[in-house]
Amino acid sequence: MKHIIAIDGPAAAGKSTVAKKLAADLGYTYIDTGAMYRAVALACLDRGIPLADEKCCGEIAASCHIALKPVAEGCLVMLDGEDVTEKIRIPLIAQGASKVSAIPAVRQALVAKQRQMAEDCNVVVEGRDIGTIVFPEADCKIFLSASLEKRAARRYEEFKKKGNDIPLADVTAEMAERDERDSCRDHSPLKQAEDAVYLDSSNLTLAQVVAFVKKQMTGEK
Ligand code: DC
């Protein structure tokens, strides 16, 4: 039987790190749906398409080719054959992804791609609407969160490690704005599925969160 682990939650709650580790430990395929929305935002911006143009953004989402190529550290994000893994990790693209993800036609196109990717393999999928919309039948659903302060501090450190010294206040404001937009949009807002288990990762290590999810998978208390 095919297994699906769904991990939803706000930005920088630790979803990617946990999902990658789980996928590596279990031999499952890792699907980063946020990266797909980021790729669409990049494709639109590269073509000079305003992110408020729902029709054009929807057409781009339906016609562009996005592939998540598994590698040891997670996955490479390929957009029309180009490796955009690093390019999509800047605040401009994060905000852009949040904007295009509110467009129903964009969501429709990407949700279809996500379901296709999981057709014949076990998967760990992270995003905002995985447990509610994309895979409501998932075997294990986790809603991972953490305080805004912790999440912003984590993202700030990640940027800094890459030589990108963005002030903590800017990182915090960007994240709060994105969370608000992602939670308040009309279509598939960020929301905990009724049957998802909530976990606050503010004071937990990666190993603790991974162990918690594995326990949920086996039904252990
Ligand atoms: O997980 P992330 O920060 O890479 O996601 C970028 C944006 O994409 C996020 O602000 C909202 C959107 N997104 C979404 O709407 N649905 C998903 N399943 C994943 C991401």
Residues of the chain with pLDDT under 50: none
Structure confidence at residue 221 (pLDDT): 56
Cα 110 to Cα 33, 102, 201, distances in angstroms:
8, 12, 28
Domain span holding position 83? 4-211
DSSP 101: T
Pocket probe mutation, ligand 1, options 182, 184, 190, max atoms within 8 Å of Cβ: 182
Q: What is the pTM of this model?
A: 0.97
Is residue 221 one of the residues assigned to a domain?
no
Query: How far is ligand 1, taken at its centre, from the CA of residue 34, in Å?
Result: 4
Q: Specify the pLDDT at position 218.
A: 83
- State the closest ligand 1 atom to the C-alpha of 114, by its place in the atom list counted from 1: 18
pLDDT of amino acid 139:
93
Listed residue (54, 57, 4, 60) closest to 31, CA to CA: 4
The predicted pLDDT at position 1 comes to 76
117 Cβ contact list (under 8 Å, min separation 6): 29, 31, 68, 123
Q: What was the pLDDT predicted at 219?
A: 75
Report whether residue 101 contacts ligand 1, using a CB cutoff of 6 Å: yes
Question: DSSP letters of 2-45?
Answer: --EEEEE-STTSSHHHHHHHHHHHHTPEEEEHHHHHHHHHHHHH
Tally of structural domains, the chain: 1
Taking the C-alpha atoms of residue 137 and residue 130, their distance in angstroms, rounded to an integer, is 10
148 within some domain: yes
Assigned domain for 220 exists: no
CATH code of the domain in which 202 resides? 3.40.50.300
Distance between CA atoms of residues 190 and 10, nearest Å? 7
